[in-house]
Structure 1
Amino acid sequence: MNVFQITPTNVYPPSDGGQHRSHGLVTSFPTHGDVVYRYCQGGHLENYFRGDLQQTIQIEDGYRELQHLHPLFDLTRLPELFGLPNVFLGASLRLLKPAVFQRRIDWADVILVELPWQVPAVTSLSDSTPVVYSSHNVEQERFESTSNGFIGDRFTSRVSTIERTALEQAAAVVCTSERDISEYRRRYDVQTNYIVSPNGVGRETVWSEEPRESASRTVRREHDISTDMIGLFVGTDYGPNREAAHELVRIATEAAERGLDMHFLIVGSVGESITTQRDNVTCTGFVSDLDPYFAAADIGLNPIDSGSGTNIKLLEYLAKRLPVVTTDFGRRGFQITHEQEALVVPVTAFTDSIARLVSERTLRERLAANGHEYVRETHLWERISTDLRVQLSNVIAEYS
């Protein structure tokens, strides 16, 4: 099977949740003899200065990524600077029509388009190859939660139009959960072939043993943390993550008032949007390696109450053997049970749940073990990708 994957930006090596999903979904294909060619509508900006506007990365045998830089692509990304969706990305692809792009469309048995922006453009260029829309979120739901003002509302309306078109034109739609399928049906009433491919983590990210103490000591020394326990929140600078980080500052205040010996680490670019003078809160900003912070943490915190899709960060906490406190919204799309794999409580009850975990070592150990087993058994990318491969083979057979 020849798979042509199209993404709105470079993917490999993956760093954020969307990149991990784009890579993870196809990670098993080459082991089955398939060929994956990924076309990225963007790349590393420093390549402009090197004159390397089309960079090909050989990830492994049968798996390559072309990162294509072009001023037209970057011009259409300007709305992202204001927190708006890049709804013009598909138009730039249609205008440019890269030669390599058309060749790969003719070569492919199936085209996997990550996110809805390029789906109309790709379907207009593809006559006989099935186009599968690979959804990361219900985009209208995602952006309407952060839309603000007339311009934001206009962009959200445009998102709705593009998303509906993507659902209508695609031969199949890959979703992160049954919840997203229900949301698509409720919002658009489009009947199509929906496929569930949940979010996951790579086998290499699932810790089989306790983390190294040296990494933990390094983090504590670097950020001058002397408390017995650390609560960790990881996130990019995205509206729902910002809301969650502000909640964590409030929770940290409550924890200090109750005398809890707990330090709160907010790791990732979301911390660059948070201002706090609290002694028990540290915002690191972007870090290139999260593992030392997972090693230093005692509890994973997921106070998410808005957004769309599913939270990969929740799986990462569990994969790193952390006991977790999450909201019900934060566990959406996962079969996570309160008191079994995590403590699932309203954000207003986080301080109480943290206090429980601080005082009950047996509970921490049980949640950590159960959560780790849940991820290992049901959310490894290798397994998810193999299942998707079967589904895509069925789409090809039905389309031919």
Structure 2
Amino acid sequence: MKKILVLNLFPTVFPPTSGGTLRYYHVYHELSRYYDTTLLSQTQRQRGEMITYSPNFREYRVNRDPLHKEIKQKLFNGKSIYEHELIVNMMLSQHPTSYKKQFDLLYMTSDLIIHESPYLLGYDRYLGLDNKPRIYNSHNHEYVLANQIWKDGTSRIYLQTVYYLEKKLIECADLVFATSEIERASFSVMYDAAPNKVKLAPNGIHPKDIIINKKTSHANPRALFIGANYPPNIEAVECIIHHLADKCPTIQFMIAGSCCKPFKNIKKSNVHLLGKVTHKQKIKLFTDADLAINPMFKGAGVNLKTLEFLSSGIPLFSTSFGIRGLNLIDKKHYVNAEKKDFAKKLNKYSQDRKRLKAISSAGQKYINAHYTWPKIAKSMKTEIEHILK
């Protein structure tokens, strides 16, 4: 059985609840049916650990290197915003860290190296010098995403470095996976990537993991949003609190995930900030929700919460940006609502239970037929086999 080594910034979560951890865990859990798979991740803890998920699937979580704090202090005076962690890790990859030592050990017995992002490319010092295949399994077009959401002036100085690293990774990789046709085209245009090198590996779901048993609806509909503490999600929560809540007084807005953190002092009678939730709690929220909302305006890749909302059979109200890359049809699979008319659409359709049930049923069938992790991994395996040969 061929051995895969995967480099990533963050550790997975089991069971995964949101964001990149869903893709990170499920893609490699499925691929471990075909390959011996090792994840090399980082933890914020002082001590590292090794977790075994199955005989062919494990994760090394390397401890945070002492240099991390030193570099962060030097670059950003100890401040911490979303992109600072990414930039610090780019800089750390130039030093003899604990992560580099672990990579060098695992590299020796690996047949294939996969990068989840360009931020750790510096650790792969054998890139272009050996015969081992490389894959860029992208979550997003990272440079485009960074250029959208990095607002801090000091951070933006490093955008050119992100561009260079992603360009180098795509040029040197034997295979690139993009989450959508939009991202695939973006890689081709910006980096002149050969179309036959960039293949599709969309985000997906495990329908059996989010089966819900909904029995009743609420007189005042409950609208659910869930997300990590990530700039596009923060912008969505701001829209819910400061735009939708006042214009939709009969709707109860349930907001879950670490995206709640910046808003802990907000007090509105129809806004409920639930904070981080477990997988079990998330499924209960899906069961209780009458509507799902996704007022996203920035980001990249395919939105995982969109897939989960639709697969669970909750009627979805989303901006066009929130359903990017999925080819969904307005009023058939979901209800399109942009910022200017989001509140109006919610008020208009939220009580039309019969119509929403038909829309949610069509959306559920479409997602469950086209976007399951086993199907995605099987397609990825076909492409991986080509480069391993």
Structure 2: how far apart are the matches of 1:70 and 1:114? Answer: 19
TM-superposed CA distance for 1:90, in Å, is 4.7
After superposition, where does 1:96-111 map in structure 2 within 5 Å? 96=97, 98-111=100-113
Q: Which residue of 1 aligns with 2:331?
A: 339
Normalised to the residue count of structure 1, the TM-score between the two structures is: 0.86
**Is the Cα contact below 8 Å between 1:36 and 1:62 reproduced in 2?**
yes
Structure 1: how far apart are the matches of 2:344 and 2:101? Answer: 59
**Is the Cα contact below 8 Å between 1:203 and 1:382 reproduced in 2?**
no
After superposition, where does 1:167-178 map in structure 2 within 5 Å? 167-178=170-181
Structure 2: how far apart are the matches of 1:116 and 1:149? Answer: 20
Number of residue pairs matched by the alignment: 373
**Is the Cα contact below 8 Å between 1:199 and 1:312 reproduced in 2?**
yes
Q: Which residue of 2 aligns with 1:268?
A: 257
2:114 alignment partner AA: L
Q: Which residue of 2 aligns with 1:38?
A: 39
Structure 2: how far apart are the matches of 1:68 and 1:230? Answer: 41
Structure 2: how far apart are the matches of 1:179 and 1:151? Answer: 29
Instruction: Specify whether residues 366 and 73 from structure 1 end up closer, same or farther in structure 2 by C-alpha distance, changes over 3 A only.
Output: farther
User: What RMSD over aligned residues (CA atoms) do the two structures have, in Å?
Assistant: 2.4
Structure 1: how far apart are the matches of 2:12 and 2:72? Answer: 16
**Is the Cα contact below 8 Å between 2:178 and 2:198 reproduced in 1?**
yes
1:82 alignment partner AA: I
After superposition, where does 1:1-400 map in structure 2 within 5 Å? 1-13=2-14, 14-32=16-34, 34-40=35-41, 42-43=42-43, 45=45, 48=46, 53-72=47-66, 74-75=68-69, 81-85=80-84, 86-93=86-93, 95-96=96-97, 98-122=100-124, 124=126, 127-191=130-194, 193-207=197-211, 209-211=212-214, 228-249=220-241, 250-256=243-249, 261-274=250-263, 275-288=265-278, 289-397=281-389
Q: Which residue of 2 aligns with 1:219?
A: none
1:127 alignment partner AA: D
Render the CA deviation track for 1:173-194: whole Å, top value 9, x for unaligned.
1111111111222333333611
Overall identity of the aligned pairs, in %: 20
2:154 alignment partner AA: I
**Is the Cα contact below 8 Å between 1:72 and 1:92 reproduced in 2?**
no
Aligned to 1:284, the other structure's residue is in SS state strand
Structure 2: how far apart are the matches of 1:363 and 1:169? Answer: 50
Aligned to 1:294, the other structure's residue is in SS state helix
Structure 1: how far apart are the matches of 2:20 and 2:229? Answer: 13
1:61 alignment partner AA: P
Aligned to 1:145, the other structure's residue is in SS state helix
**Is the Cα contact below 8 Å between 1:301 and 1:325 reproduced in 2?**
yes
Normalised to the residue count of structure 2, the TM-score between the two structures is: 0.88
1:198 alignment partner AA: P
1:131 alignment partner AA: R
Structure 2: how far apart are the matches of 1:15 and 1:314? Answer: 13
Structure 2: how far apart are the matches of 1:303 and 1:357? Answer: 16
Aligned to 1:359, the other structure's residue is in SS state coil
Render the CA deviation track for 1:334-366: whole Å, top value 9, x for unaligned.
121111110123222212221233221111111
Render the CA deviation track for 1:207-258: whole Å, top value 9, x for unaligned.
1x52477xx9xxxxxxxxx8531011111121111111111121121112xx
Structure 2: how far apart are the matches of 1:100 and 1:238? Answer: 29
Structure 1: how far apart are the matches of 2:153 and 2:320? Answer: 31
1:102 alignment partner AA: D
Instruction: Specify whether residues 337 and 98 from structure 1 end up closer, same or farther in structure 2 by C-alpha distance, changes over 3 A only.
Output: same
Instruction: Specify whether residues 15 and 338 from structure 1 end up closer, same or farther in structure 2 by C-alpha distance, changes over 3 A only.
Output: same
TM-superposed CA distance for 1:59, in Å, is 0.3
Structure 2: how far apart are the matches of 1:171 and 1:119? Answer: 15
Structure 2: how far apart are the matches of 1:201 and 1:269? Answer: 21
Structure 1: how far apart are the matches of 2:158 and 2:285? Answer: 37
Structure 1: how far apart are the matches of 2:143 and 2:222? Answer: 35
TM-superposed CA distance for 1:131, in Å, is 1.2
For structure 2, the 5+ residue unaligned runs are none
Render the CA deviation track for 1:72-119: whole Å, top value 9, x for unaligned.
474467768222251342553452374542243232221111111123
For structure 1, the 5+ residue unaligned runs are 217-225
Structure 1 runs of 4+ aligned residues shifted over 4 Å read 76-80, 97-100
TM-superposed CA distance for 1:28, in Å, is 2.0
TM-superposed CA distance for 1:202, in Å, is 2.2
Instruction: Specify whether residues 44 and 227 from structure 1 end up closer, same or farther in structure 2 by C-alpha distance, changes over 3 A only.
Output: farther
